[in-house]
Amino acid sequence: MKEILASNVPAAVAVICLAAYFFGTAVVFIASPVKRGEAYSIKPVDNAGITEIRVYYGGISFALGAFLLYLTWATKTPYYSLIGGLFFANTVLIVRTIFLFVDKGWKCPYTKLAIPCETLFVIALWICYFLAQKHL
């Protein structure tokens, strides 16, 4: 795996950061779904809601992180995992920005944190992408 990551350092850095983000998200939502959910303005109405937070925020985050690492290993390059991460991060930022206005959520504390953080993350991924193209 070292050789694969060394083959394209900018893409490898991005994939490692993406995987760490997804695995970290998985751990906090699986371990503490109600507390983490409330930080995201999500409140389950019953125990099934708690399970849904664990499944969709925790389980899917874990799967995304694992898939990016698997894709890196299977293709012998982190480049395609970086592209997958770009699809994910750009989609989240674009949809959040659109529905920020539709749902009038721009004053919510979580939104005030999410928009700048996600914007910086997307910019960093695009920088990694352009640097990674030089290693192809």
- Please give the pLDDT value at position 40: 84
With CA atoms as reference, report the closest residue to 53 among 68, 72, 39, 34.
34
Whether the CB-CB separation of 110 and 40 falls below 8 Å is answered with yes
> What's the whole-model pTM score?
0.89
What six digits make up the tokens of 95? 């949809």
Total of domains in the chain: 1
Render the burial of 37-72: b for 16+ CB within 10 Å, e for the rest.
beeeebebeeeeeeebbbeebbbebbebbeebbebb
The Cα–Cα gap between 113 and 97 comes to 13
- In the chain, which residues have pLDDT < 70? none
Domain containing residue 120: 2-133
